């Protein structure tokens, strides 16, 4: 059943409206109309099932028949703090992280980042990444649209990470297995993954001062676009969300 995000509901949640590009897609591309079944999500982890009352390229009006929590939303919150890689690798990282259940993606500028976008270039890049996150959330049945945050330096990123139940730096020099860190009960986690070249020793020491755990992703050196996917998969599996 087609599924779309909207926040336009009547007060009693008996009716909803889909507008913008999604309305065009429903009416012109999918050619859906009166009486067709559709699923909507309110971006707050609730799905709404209904039938279309009317549809055109400006708006689609839906009568809501039933609602329930989004089955595709994990019961833990995992934030990915990702050192910015070069090229379009960040696009793949965002797409796959959203599919795997990430709560948000926070880009980080570290010493070994080859890509060092200025404010204007990053604003354009962030808009593109947010669109990718939205499309991935629609495709995989998420209950929210994970947000791509502003670009942070390492210190600000570590400050934010310290507020999570579990915070992990995936450091290529670490010999600490990941599994033992995931045994205790946690509801929120932050994971920091490097760009090409990983982290330098001073950055790892800085993370330790913030109380961030270190962990290894095994004896094989993973590409910067592979590492966050592997780490997020492990966290979701261990928490029962995969």
Exposed e or buried b per residue across 103-136, where buried means at least 16 C-beta atoms within 10 angstroms of its C-beta: bbbbbbbbeebebebeeeebeebbeebbebbbeb
Segments of the chain assigned to CATH 3.40.1280.10: 77-238
**pTM metric for this prediction:** 0.92
Where are the domain boundaries for CATH 2.40.240.20 in the chain? 3-69
Query: pLDDT per residue over 27-58, tens digit each?
Result: 999 999 999 999 999 999 999 999 999 999 99
Instruction: State the average pLDDT over residues 153-173.
Output: 96
Class at the top of the CATH hierarchy for domain 77-238: alpha beta
The pLDDT, as a whole number, for residue 54 is: 96
Q: What is the pLDDT of residues 71-119, one digit of tens each?
A: 999 999 999 999 999 999 999 999 999 999 999 999 999 999 998 888 8
Pick the CATH number of 3-69 from 2.40.240.20, 3.40.50.11310, 3.40.50.970, 3.40.605.10: 2.40.240.20
1 pLDDT above the threshold of 80: no
pLDDT band, residue 70 (cuts 50/70/90)? very high
């Amino acid at each position: 059943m087609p599924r779309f995000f909207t926040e336009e509901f009547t007060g009693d949640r008996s009716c909803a409206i889909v507008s913008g590009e999604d309305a065009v897609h429903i009416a012109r591309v999918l050619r859906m109309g009166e009486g067709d079944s559709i699923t909507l999500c309110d971006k707050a982890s609730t799905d709404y099932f209904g039938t279309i009352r009317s549809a055109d390229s400006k708006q689609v009006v839906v009568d809501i028949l039933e609602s329930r929590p989004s089955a595709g939303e994990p019961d833990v919150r995992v934030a990915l703090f990702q050192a910015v890689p070069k090229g379009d690798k960040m696009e793949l990282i965002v797409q796959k992280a959203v599919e795997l259940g990430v709560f948000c993606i926070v880009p980080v500028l570290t010493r070994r980042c080859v890509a060092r976008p200025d404010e204007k270039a990053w604003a354009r890049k962030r808009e593109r990444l947010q669109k990718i996150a939205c499309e991935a959330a629609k495709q995989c049945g998420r209950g929210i649209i994970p947000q791509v945050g502003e670009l942070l330096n390492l210190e600000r990123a570590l400050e934010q990470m310290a507020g999570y139940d579990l915070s992990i730096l995936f450091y290529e020099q670490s010999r600490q297995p990941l599994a033992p860190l995931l045994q205790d009960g946690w509801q929120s986690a932050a994971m920091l993954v490097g760009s090409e070249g990983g982290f330098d020793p001073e950055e790892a020491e800085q993370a330790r001062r913030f109380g961030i755990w270190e962990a290894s992703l095994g004896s094989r050196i993973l590409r910067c676009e592979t590492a966050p996917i592997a780490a997020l998969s492990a966290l979701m599996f261990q928490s029962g969300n995969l």
